[in-house]
Amino acid sequence: MAKFREFAEICEILGKENSKKEKARLIGEFLRGLSPAEGKIASYLFLAHFPAGRRIFLSWSTLIDVLGEMFPLTPWQLQEIGAESVDVGEIVEGIYQRWNRYKSSGFSIEQVYEKLEELSVQGGKGASKKRKTILKGLLVGMDGLEAKYLAKTIVGEMRIGVQEGMVLEGLAYAVGLPLEDIRKGFLLFGDIGETVETFLGKGREALLNLSLKPFRPIQPMLAQMAYSIKEVFEEMEGEVALEFKYDGARVQIHKQGEEVRIFSRHLNDLTDAFPEIVEKVRKNIKGDAIIEGEVVAMKEGKFLPFQDILRRVTRRKEVGKMRGKVPLELFLFDCLYSAGESLIDKSYEERWRKLEEIAGGIPLAERRIVSSVEEGERFFKLALQAKAEGVMAKALKGVYTPGSRGKLWLKVKKSSTLDLVIIAGEWGYGRRHNWISDYHLACWDRERKELLMIGKTFKGLTDEEFQEMTERLLSLKIREEGKVVYVKPEVVVEVAFNDIQKSPRYRCGYALRLARIIRIRDDKKPEEADDIQTVEQIFNSQQANL
């Protein structure tokens, strides 16, 4: 039986190791010595992650309270230790060392995990006291190193540089299978712990088990960004399916018999938050199925802000009250499994057909099959008029690729534009090494008569335009620092972007997300470029639309 102390020791080593490859090997060696059930636990602990979005509701102050009961700690001592330490784990270890607590508990990792599970479900009256008792029961028997890693797990910050991908790599090493197979397994199992447990237990045979099963959520397929309908047609040939891109919460719904469960984009269980969706699915969907869709908040035919759905998720305890305030609608867009058969290897067309067949009265996403840019743009306009976020373009022959952000799905969102001034550019790399290609973009602070940088982009120009822009900027050069060429602010460009974020990166306090140049505005003088007030206005309206 693996001891928690051994887990703490390997974490200590991993935290000091810089090579990712070596880290993965060390994880592999460790996993190899564990039973499948222990492997599952160790993988959760490495990542301080618990299945199905479960969290440990313990704060740093609770931890300190418990330590205060165990050690004669004065506030200044705590402050002193805190000042010398970089994280919670080290603070706790420091306290243990000060009182020479070097005796290990002998707890197994399973015993510790069991207690952590108890901590994650403790709620209601007297819960805080119960939590403290459980925590104390663990800490009292531990030595400094064990307590350090227990504390890190509890606050959810391991700081040992281990990510999911590294655990998968370690697992591949431990069971001697190609990483690709392990990744495939992970995408279908959806959960790191289950992946580790299954592969440690069954080795290669785990791959035979890789079919979809209701109530085992899988990583969702993701979309790449396209900046226009024109770009969609450059990526996809012939006919393309365009669907409204609703601005809500993505859900993966599993139904078997009368039982229905709803999972979020990150595979957290949302079933309790959306009881009316559960009822609707139970009533309408024909047979066992795994389907996907977007849940949106809607009142009198109008979409409500995205925050409203979030309220439905965060205030689950008041679900009855929230149901009246925030009515939900579901739009379906995919079917991954129906009546015992996995459909992820079938084409989008076939999956859509199946969805139509089984959806009953539940609406599918508004959709059109289009075959030209003009037709696509018309539908895109329609989507924006309906207050959708944009459109999703889907390749008709495309299969469902769990967890990957490929080109079989492209998203085109509405974008705003700003006229900005180029104040500098950077020499490019690779193919662009002869061009000044990454442009620093600025808007006006008219009061102070100064230009404020708000973003950078190298996107949007053709090779020929890069060439011309390079010559033009060199003729405007003020000075060069490293790869940055500062220029007189004369060139105005129209820049599209997806949204504006608050950001400390630039002095103006904002940054453009996914900026790209759509036009060089030779018809505009630099003084005519947009100012920070306009940026603020767009930012504020964006917030209102969320």
Residues with a known catalytic role: 245
CB nearer ligand ATP, residue 20 or residue 411:
411
CB nearer ligand ATP, residue 142 or residue 223:
223
What's the min distance (Å) between Cβ of 336 and ligand ATP?
A: 13
Query: Under the phi-then-psi rule, with left for phi > 0, alpha for psi from -120 to 50, and beta for the rest, what region is 417?
Result: beta
Residue entry with tokens 């901590």: 119
CB nearer ligand ATP, residue 132 or residue 387:
387
C-alpha 167/C-alpha 184 separation (Å) is 14
Residue entry with tokens 């309408």: 284
Q: How far apart are the first and last CA of the chain?
A: 50
CB nearer ligand ATP, residue 217 or residue 489:
217
What's the min distance (Å) between Cβ of 540 and ligand ATP?
A: 20
Residue entry with tokens 């227990």: 150
CB nearer ligand ATP, residue 38 or residue 294:
294
The burial class, CB within 10 Å (0-12 / 13-18 / 19+), for 504 is: exposed
Q: Compute the radius of gyration of the chain from its Cα atoms.
A: 27
Residue entry with tokens 């490859």: 21
Q: Is 276 helix (H, G, I), strand (E, B) or coil?
A: helix
C-alpha 392/C-alpha 67 separation (Å) is 53
Helix residue ranges per DSSP H, 141-204: 144-155, 164-175, 179-189, 192-202
CB nearer ligand ATP, residue 201 or residue 406:
406
Neighbours of 155 (CB within 10 A): 18
Neighbours of 282 (CB within 10 A): 13
What's the min distance (Å) between Cβ of 519 and ligand ATP?
A: 25
- Written in H, E and C, the secondary structure of 194-230 is HHHHHHHHHHHHHHHHCCCCCCCCCCCCEEEECCCHH
What's the min distance (Å) between Cβ of 364 and ligand ATP?
A: 9
Helix residue ranges per DSSP H, 438-531: 463-475
CB nearer ligand ATP, residue 41 or residue 236:
236
Q: What is the maximum alpha-carbon separation in the chain? A: 77
Q: How far is CA 62 from CA 66, 68, 394, in A?
A: 6, 10, 50
What's the min distance (Å) between Cβ of 242 and ligand ATP?
A: 9
Residue nearest to ligand ATP (CB): 250
Q: φ and ψ at 23, to 5 degrees? A: -60, -45
Residue type, 514: L
Chain residues binding ligand ATP by CB under 6 A are: 222-223, 243, 245-246, 250, 265, 294, 333, 365, 392, 411
What's the min distance (Å) between Cβ of 109 and ligand ATP?
A: 34
CB nearer ligand ATP, residue 265 or residue 378:
265
What's the min distance (Å) between Cβ of 292 and ligand ATP?
A: 7
Specify whether the CB–CB gap between 234 and 275 falls below 8 A. Answer: no
Specify whether the CB–CB gap between 436 and 484 falls below 8 A. Answer: no
What's the min distance (Å) between Cβ of 530 and ligand ATP?
A: 25
C-alpha 521/C-alpha 286 separation (Å) is 56
Specify whether the CB–CB gap between 17 and 117 falls below 8 A. Answer: no
C-alpha 204/C-alpha 65 separation (Å) is 48
CB nearer ligand ATP, residue 330 or residue 469:
330
C-alpha 545/C-alpha 64 separation (Å) is 42
What's the min distance (Å) between Cβ of 392 and ligand ATP?
A: 4
CB nearer ligand ATP, residue 8 or residue 241:
241
What's the min distance (Å) between Cβ of 20 and ligand ATP?
A: 25
Q: φ and ψ at 215, to 5 degrees? A: 75, 5
Q: Are β-strands 240-245 and 259-263 bridged in parallel, bridged antiparallel, or unpaired?
A: unpaired
Residue 398 is given by DSSP the state P
Tokens for 110, please give them. 């399973």
Tokens for 11, please give them. 């974490």
